[in-house]
Chain A
């Protein structure tokens, strides 16, 4: 009982922190805006007012994308870690992002017009994520050791990187720049008009993850035990891969491949909450993931006058040492 109480208050505290961090995120930036600018831009919007435009077209979408990217990747990582019974699994390390990257590279650099539309880009990113998710799923049924799946994921990553490199050498400077910028990762490319679609897809992903709470809680015991408790493993596996591919594909399409968030945050959440209840783990990964990305992006904006740091670089700089620490402490 005491543990549940502690978890609930921790969750509540985090829930309280998120809007604060989100507000700070809205405020930072090179142009200073007042609180009234924000209110006015929402309630009495003037399309001639630059400040209003900055809020509407730049800051709000960037904040919303940050929240969804952090939350989504953390959920995807959590689901994969539980599904594969491997605390080091994640959409990036298992090559789900690579699938998206490959297909986005194809869309951005082949110049087929349909693909360069928003819809085409998301669709391709999703197809790539799902395709690679299925490949990993297949390998997961074959390999026995946890480390093997991670190595296969890394190999998938190298393999696609090579193909992407080949596409890059064959494409022209304009396309190449577009892809390179995409691959560095950014929360800035989203426009206000795209937000409803992204929010809708994200909500489906989150909702889907919450629907899987019961099988996820049982899967913690491993597939054999889960099967003995009546879980339909095939169906659950496919469902979880669909959800993770949906979330990862969506976020990768708009923000580029963001590393380590999906791997690190769920582990941090488990350590903080000391629980295997996925209702709590999903909700807290959502919040902590969002807070983490927002803080990263706030730091990026503070550093901007001196140094431009892509979001992908920053998450790796913070995430990689954390993962090494995790391996040393828990998995040695």
Chain B
């Protein structure tokens, strides 16, 4: 679903080079030092930042040729910071994920309601539905954010450190949910993380930013913890 060719990423000049990779359905965990370019890579693949050089194909299409308004139908993105808003209830928040599919006035169809319900069921957050997002715990917020991404019905979901502010149990719940979603809906899920142990337990392929050359490469799920640490840190 995601294919890169000779990709260099960065804001003004290249800060990291991505070895040519091909990501199909599945969960991929991006690991690297702080400031190594993890967020930059995620933003670039999400189409929010132009690459310095090289190409990214999303479902066979060069990303720059995809209209900005169509991008949210192909890729959903869960940022590292949950928006801090009063009086926004969870259902309404999740429903915003449908907006790329809605008409000009943002009217909801029966299908929208169905997709929203399905997302809520998938993440088992029925009891959060009518709460305000400002009253949720960090773990609950993350699940709501994932549900919102799910309603976009994209084949790719990108998450920037979704487990960063969570306790161990919530980290596990989030990761398990992502693995479940990827398998159930055949999605490509790419997330960055600092939780090496948890990531290794998950037994998913890694994208690692090499500390010395700043190249990003794909490593098999079986790679040992020591190897990953020696490459990345």
Contacts and interface: CB of A to CB of B under 8 A. Distances in A.
B86 interface: yes
A232 interface: yes
B99 A229 contact: yes
B96 A229 contact: yes
A224 interface: yes
B86 A330 contact: yes
A277 to B, nearest CB: 7
B48 A277 contact: no
Most central of A214, A222, A271 by chain B CB within 10 Å: A214
A3 B102 CA distance: 22
B79 A224 contact: yes
B88 to A, nearest CB: 4
A217 B106 contact: yes
A276 interface: yes
A194 interface: no
B92 A277 contact: yes
Contacts of B99: 214, 217-218, 229-230
A209 to B, nearest CB: 13
Contact of B87 (A218, A230, A274): A274
A213 B79 contact: no
B72 interface: yes
B105 A227 contact: no
Task: State the main secondary structure of chain A at its contact with B.
Answer: helix
B48 A270 contact: no
Contact of B72 (A214, A220, A222, A230): A230
B29 interface: no
Interface in A114-172: none
A225 B83 contact: yes
A221 B96 contact: yes
B71 to A, nearest CB: 7
B30 to A, nearest CB: 18
A271 B102 CA distance: 28
A221 B83 contact: yes
Contacts of B106: 213-214, 217
B86 A227 contact: no
A224 B48 CA distance: 9
A144 to B, nearest CB: 13
Interface in B74-127: 76-77, 79, 83, 85-89, 92-93, 96-97, 99-100, 102, 104-106
A228 interface: yes
A330 B86 CA distance: 9
Contact of A220 (B88, B105, B130): B88
Given A214-B99, A214-B104, A228 B77 contact: yes
A228 B72 contact: yes
Contacts of A270: 86-87
A330 B87 CA distance: 12
Most central of A217, A227, A230, A232 by chain B CB within 10 Å: A230
A8 to B, nearest CB: 15
B230 interface: no
B68 interface: yes
A275 interface: yes
B65 interface: no
Interface string A247-276: 000000000000000000000001101111
Contacts of A275: 87, 92
B137 interface: no
B77 A276 contact: no
B79 A214 contact: no
Contacts of A276: 85-88, 92
B85 A221 contact: yes
Given A222-B83, A228-B79, A230-B71, A213 B88 contact: no
B87 A214 contact: no
B92 A230 contact: no
B89 A230 contact: no
Would you list the 6 A-B pairs with minimal beta carbon distance, nearest first? A214-B106, A230-B72, A221-B83, A276-B88, A230-B100, A228-B77
Given A217-B106, A227-B48, A277-B92, 14 more contacts: A2-B130, A87-B86, A213-B105, A214-B104, A218-B96, A220-B88, A221-B83, A228-B46, A228-B72, A228-B77, A229-B72, A229-B152, A232-B69, A271-B87
15 contacts: A3-B130, A87-B86, A214-B106, A217-B96, A222-B83, A228-B46, A228-B77, A230-B71, A230-B99, A230-B100, A232-B69, A270-B86, A274-B87, A274-B132, A276-B88
Interface of B: 46, 48, 68-73, 76-77, 79, 83, 85-89, 92-93, 96-97, 99-100, 102, 104-106, 130, 132, 152
